[in-house]
Amino acid sequence: MPLDIVTVPCLKDNYAYIVKGPDGIALIDAPEAKPLINVLEHRGWTPDVIMITHHHHDHVGGVDELREKYGCKVMGPAAEKDKLPELDMALEPGFSGGTDDGLCEVIPVPGHTLGHVAYHYPEAKCLFSADSLMVMGCGRVFEGTPEMMWESLSTLAALDPQTIVCSGHEYGESNAAFAKTIEPDNPGLISRAQMITVARGRGQPTAQVPLYIELQTNPFLRAGQASVKKALGMEDASDLEVFTEIRARKDKF
């Protein structure tokens, strides 16, 4: 049974995901309850579990209301247990569960927060990365260090290139604009930026994309590329140093 994934816009620019698979229905993050309830009721679905990626309020604000309404279990990173709504199961890095396309692995991706996790469905080739890897970007380094974030992104970059990355925010247009300041002559980036502008004009989400496209266009994943180092005048710098410079520029963009 393949996964049925529904993208649900929440708040100003957040996304939550409803994932229906062979083991039931999971919500990946819950920024607010109402949009998720509307979609669930329209489809006649009842969630079995809410899977939290990290503790920020714009990813957990709807958890308690949804749990009260549906009686669903709540899972999240053990490292952030004290900052999250009450957990029925605290997930350790490396934990996996589920069957067939529903098999899910917990990948630690510290940087944005210290305990941030991503949910990887290897058989279905799908990754829910929230505020770690994002469309042509990555989350701000709030609690961790640039080294942590670079290591996290490097881990995700090594997944199957056909993996669909589903991130937590609609930042496509702004991230594309920044990416072009790093690689203005990247033809794939130029084409993708145009496609994002068209999609957003139609009200379509852009936060779901194959990993191989991110590898071609996301400056944060491309910090180790010689072309990027040359563009920044950092030919002799380490990959981490280049990543740190790109993140610093994005913070000021």
Own/partner pairs, 99-103, CB within 8 angstroms, 24+ separation? 99/22, 99/23, 100/1, 100/21, 100/22, 101/1, 101/2, 101/3, 101/21, 101/22, 102/1, 102/3, 102/21, 102/22, 102/23
Q: Does the annotation list 112 as a binding residue?
A: yes
Q: Does the annotation list 55 as a binding residue?
A: no
Q: Does the annotation list 101 as a binding residue?
A: no
Q: Does the annotation list 120 as a binding residue?
A: no
Tally of helices (H runs) and strands (E runs) in the chain: 9, 14
Q: What are phi and psi of 53, to 5 degrees?
A: -90, -35
Interhelix angle 172-182/239-252, nearest 10 degrees: 120
In single-letter form, the type of residue at position 130 comes to: A
Q: Does the annotation list 56 as a binding residue?
A: yes
Residue 215, CA distances (Å) to 60, 100, 137, 149 in order? 29, 27, 11, 16
What residue numbers does the annotated binding site cover? 54, 56, 58-59, 112, 131, 169
What residue numbers does the annotated binding site for Zn(2+) cover? 54, 56, 58-59, 112, 131, 169
